């Protein structure tokens, strides 16, 4: 029984894998992959055991801010809402909801009748507003945009590779014919050329429609190159630099020009995190630290610490 259930799961996964137009599945894959990369940019030391760095970074990356607080015994951090803005539109209060700890009002400074019980940390220097207009100060929008672009390219590639095997599509006039056609196409998609052929007489009732495939094999290479370029653009946008390994040296002018291409500077984001950690330590009496992942720190390239093509 257990083996049968597992086999059925495998078949369902195979069906999903060969749904070549399944952009949502591709989006979910790339969203998780890009978010996982973003979670590796910074490293924390000496955080309280009750506060994993992953939870802190998820709030910073996806919300644009984090609000660590005492839950009564330990320091924790959950997704939250912030409000109660001062004259510079800096939030003074917040709230959260958690199935185990329930909800609580958070205060980021002493207010009439209330003592500060939480610290407000930001992801970047924009914080959460520009001239009193709410913004998403995290990287969720960035990740979503690139995940969708990569999913679209991947779906296009999958559709094209199937069309290389199937240049025309059968079309039926009733449900019985269509069911046989669906079975035929499923086998063709997975490359089952032998068993896709059937002598069922009902298939004599279909007609063939040309797929209009005017693309060449070079088009497939272009699609794959576009996918790599989009992924490279994402990495550049979050601060990754690509050096040509065939080039023996890079001048200071070339380095400065490459630096201008970076839309997100990890050092600037690190500065905001360091300010947040300082506030965190002052309030909670801890000695936590944050730093760039050595594999992400671009200065290592010039110091000889990173010698591969993809350096930051």
Q: How far is the first Cα of the chain from the last one, in angstroms, to the nearest whole number?
A: 51
pLDDT at 20: 63
What is the token pair recorded at 227?
Answer: 């996918």
User: CA 204, CA 188: separation in Å to the nearest integer?
Assistant: 18
pLDDT at 36: 94
Asked if pLDDT for residue 205 goes beyond 60, the answer is no
pLDDT at 22: 79
Q: Which residue has the higher pLDDT, 284 or 243?
A: 284
Name 148's Cβ contacts closer than 8 Å, sequence gap at least 6. Answer: 23, 27, 30
User: CA 153, CA 23: separation in Å to the nearest integer?
Assistant: 9
Give phi and psi for 20, each to the nearest 5.
-65, -20
Q: Is 290 exposed, middle or buried (0-12, 13-18, 19+ CB in 10 A)?
A: buried
pLDDT at 89: 83
Mean pLDDT of 91-111: 90
Mean pLDDT of 77-102: 88
Residue carrying structure tokens 């330590």 = 281
Q: Does residue 210 sit in helix, strand or coil?
A: strand
DSSP-derived letter for residue 264 is: S
pLDDT at 7: 60
Give phi and psi for 70, each to the nearest 5.
-80, 130
Residue carrying structure tokens 């052929």 = 197
pTM for this structure?
A: 0.73
């Amino acid at each position: 029984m257990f083996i049968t259930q597992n086999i059925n799961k495998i078949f369902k996964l195979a069906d999903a894998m060969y749904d070549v137009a399944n952009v949502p599945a591709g989006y979910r894959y790339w969203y998780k992959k890009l978010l996982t990369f973003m979670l590796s940019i910074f490293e924390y030391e000496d955080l309280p055991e009750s506060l994993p760095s992953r939870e802190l970074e998820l709030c910073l990356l996806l919300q644009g801010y984090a609000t660590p607080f005492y839950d009564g015994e330990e320091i924790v951090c959950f997704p939250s809402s912030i409000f109660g803005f001062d004259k510079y539109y800096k939030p003074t209060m917040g709230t959260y909801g958690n199935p185990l700890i329930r909800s609580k009002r958070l205060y980021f400074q002493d207010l009439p009748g209330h003592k500060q019980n939480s610290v407000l940390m930001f992801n970047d220097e924009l914080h959460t507003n520009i001239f009193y207009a709410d913004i998403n100060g995290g990287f969720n929008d960035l990740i979503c945009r690139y995940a969708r672009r990569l999913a679209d390219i991947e779906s296009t590639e999958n559709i094209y590779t199937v069309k290389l095997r199937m240049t025309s599509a059968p079309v039926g006039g009733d449900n019985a014919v269509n069911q046989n056609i669906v079975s035929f196409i499923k086998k063709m998609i997975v490359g089952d050329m032998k068993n896709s052929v059937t002598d069922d007489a009902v298939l004599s009732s279909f007609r063939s429609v040309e797929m209009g495939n005017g693309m060449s094999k070079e088009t497939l290479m272009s699609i794959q190159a576009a996918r790599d370029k989009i992924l490279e653009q994402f990495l550049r946008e979050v601060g990754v630099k690509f050096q040509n390994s065939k080039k023996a040296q890079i001048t200071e002018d070339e380095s400065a020009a490459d630096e201008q291409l970076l839309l997100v500077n990890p050092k600037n984001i690190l500065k905001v995190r360091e300010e947040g950690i300082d506030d965190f330590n002052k309030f909670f009496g801890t000695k936590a630290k944050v730093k760039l992942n050595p594999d992400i720190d671009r200065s290592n390239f010039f110091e000889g610490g990173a010698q591969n093509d993809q350096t930051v």
